[in-house]
Structure 1
């Protein structure tokens, strides 16, 4: 039975009928629709061609569709793992958790993405202070859904944010604080994912902060606020969410800070040195002892090391599998193959040999934070050759049940099934094929995963992994090499990662259970204060085709005005509220459009802000310009400029019905709604860039008021640079000008008093 194909269900007759129904609308002068008319003949011809085209398109197999996508450089997206921020508490002693430490969220496994050092420390109090007020926001910080202003709504220079700890910080002790900001234009349920995709090097901060601690100053012999050593600031002066890592240089001293003045505490302070925030930073939560975690379960991992080839060389690993799992060591030969070296308890009791054996010693540290792989001095054991020649394979003990895939029979197009491993990601596996040598030992060769064998040559060691069917495919000798035949198992996995998919998108406070008993015995509490986000299943072919169509329409090069505006709105790290591109214009051009600047374009950007006239800072403009410069034409010079705000004040005498003589404020609100620079709610658009303010606009707005009979008198005043007034009283704006409302004066007169 032939498979059912997704054909267009319209018949030839239906296509002809639909086309004929469009004739009166598209070509009303066409009145003869009989069969003898040549136009009807053309309709029937194109209907037949359309039916044939759809017929053949419906029979394009999925394999060919994938080839077409490959020509466009588009491949189906692999399954992805959810990411979250994990916070640790109840730390009673200093301890280091190795990278890859495993935690459970119900039935989902999560692993930390970096090692983290935990120390007994609590963020005790948080105080914000401006020139007007001081607030203790500690309770607000404990409720992560309530954001607070770090430096007040104005974020003026000299505003401060104080943080106190429950103990004195030791000099050179590194402390990391995770800062969660309420960022404009970011979906807060996806903030865990956003942190990992923003290119911070392309962002110029709008303001500048300084961090100080209250310490003892040896030079002056007194205590005071002294700068801390800022090791890392991912927040870019509280512009983005991220981590701040610092160290104290001197001995701290306790001090009282109002309003948390009931006792002296150990404080650090962030001060606004240079103001300029478009949106004052709002903090959702400040947290100690946090690390990024990803939903996955690594059964085996490999790490390649570069060694010097010197005697007594050592290699250190700080991963969870290295500390709590099994360790195997491979060393690369000159021909690129790998050989396993054997583990020995120690080199001390081994006598010198003419041909030292291939041995390594493994040292597990009592702190359970790292392991060390040691090599000999070249007398009692061999020395690895210099270069990237040492590979450490760390795996769980149970991985031995899964690592052996099978043996090759030397025939083309071999297929092996992974019965017990549900690897959802195509890149979740790394494998090797062993080649038997005359002396009975194996040398192991790396094989590379590819999506298809189309580009594989006969000598290329490639394989395909199908995560849906859990199948591993090898080539036929013409496209992709054939694994060496063997009587024993010679196809093995050296790396394997489980996990991925949308099941990892868990709610807050679910990542709590330790997997390892030794880590559980530390009695450290773990949880995720926010959502785990970013987990997704692998794309189907249909979804990939839809994404390909959307990406082809996506703007990635700045050519037209609309391209510049679209790209400016999408600038990472810059919350752009409005944007307007002005071709052939540059700052300082006096008589535009009569006078133009060839090859130049000015992009006017308006940021989100709390004021009526939000103005971008120099850093904001530089961030947008840097983003556009990488996408503009080579011959185009881009200027990113702020808007010119023009204050417009309306003075009017309006005749109304008697019952509305006291509702002048409503007319003022109508004018403010009209003369606004930013877009409003419910799709209300702000004033168009550079559009003149005509009296007719004001008349129209006032006529919408309740009870308005007519406008008896009207005149408009304007204040701002480059603004002009016509002979008729209209306001003429520069091309990068925007209006905002002044103090409108509306006088209402009852119709009965005329």
Structure 2
């Protein structure tokens, strides 16, 4: 980027002295005044005289030099950033969770190694987007240890009944069975629960379990089999998390076995309930029972939803593993890349074959093998400021993939020594009261090595690194389905959550804007602005907006709440579909990344709470009068699509608002906003009535208000969003007059 392309209007405009305030006219006049003194025979000063033309030419050149002389070049500002150690941030990697389903392996636990690669389907237009798992996934062999029931629903169960230990027996296959047992009370009430406690020895974090139940077909329970009022949850060490991913994963139909009864005559029916456990499913002790806890509870029925009239009854239960879920990031893993051989000189650099480079992990480092020696592990450092000559350090530029070893820096005493050596050959004359420099003390090192130098001829190899990142990694759910790494027993793989947090590399302009905030926060979170700035910095562009809100009650003192809007892929906006609120979900992996970054910079005792923003949908209906040029169906359709895209872009948390940098928290959407927006579009002659329809989130999902409103107010901490969904009629309607 050229220096003149950078605008520093955001900096304070302090008064600046002109080192030379002469203008072009002043320079020309001064030269003409000097003509009689230096060239008296020159008497024609008209602009047509060739001499005057030369004077104007050199005056113009001098004026340009004075202009640069009076302004510190913007390049110096960039150099100042380099002295501060500011580097362009590399792309951020999108993160998601991958679920692997296995055929029955012979040995448990079954291990799916870290860095297993899964990608999207490759098309003729686009390359596949590759994700790799962040850690090993262990799929254990679960065994049911306890079957407990409770009349009330509590976060910490206190009163539990073990009603099957002495009535059921466990087979060698791990199936518990015997006489019929009630899951709830004889007269069920909301809050009735039963708990399944698995053996603690097996690794079951993130596993996908199949709960196989047997019971009488078409058991009379009083519920609607397609909408049973029950909820499955697992204890993750802090809270109970829902683990039934989709309603169709409950093949018992709420323990009624209704669907199975329609397909056979066997009175005893068996069906599975598929549960996706949290990534952290620890061993916990409740009321003296130790293990990994699951529970199913009779939830409060919603309006019009029938509840349990009779308790479901089962005759046996078994738990088995079908697969597991593990976190993954948009990256490609490269192993054992040979960089070359050392020349034994300071500051030698090497270039990686793939760039940019993602944040390094513990097993990603450089190995240096001297000739005839054993490999040495070297450590990456951000800079060589604290490196001693014997420290095996190197730096790695994440954006360009350039590796550098320790440089040799000449100290000031070296320059003094060189001057003294030259003085012995040619004595320096004394000037006034200043003697020559022969007496200068040149003690101390002449030069200093920062960091060790690999021995000459040593082989330099990077053991492992990950390359990737960027916005294109923000893929939608159920798009990562192609296994790129050959692993036996894998039936299929899928991502049930969209990938979020991917961002492109930082531009120079963005870095220039970031530095004043960086100098203010000093990498510490104290004020509200500090928390917002560091939240955006933690995700490296993976967060579009962040709002730090003050506590509303005295009980929240010491707690910092940050509303986060993750960056999403905006291609759907340009396609005229908009972005639904579920595109801005704050995934567990992104939340962990933000929390870890902020915990290292917050004050002691401060608790951080990350929350997704609240959204209110907006749908626009209007009539447009067009210029005569657009009185044909093809042109009208193009303009209609253009206007829809403009609306989806404007009413959006990421690209919306007056400045196009995201809708402002708490700002309502007015009819006048839409009118002002359309008035800027070429071809629009006049605008008819503009109707705004509000779309709100309810327990049944998103619902559109049937009556138009003069404005849509998202609330003090809310944002406006718009998207296309024919089921709720959330799309924009533009009719031409």
TM-score interval, normalised by the smaller of the two chains:
0.3 to 0.5
Normalising by structure 1, we get a TM-score of 0.36
User: With structure 2 as the length reference, what TM-score do the two structures score?
Assistant: 0.37
Name the structure with the higher strand share: 1
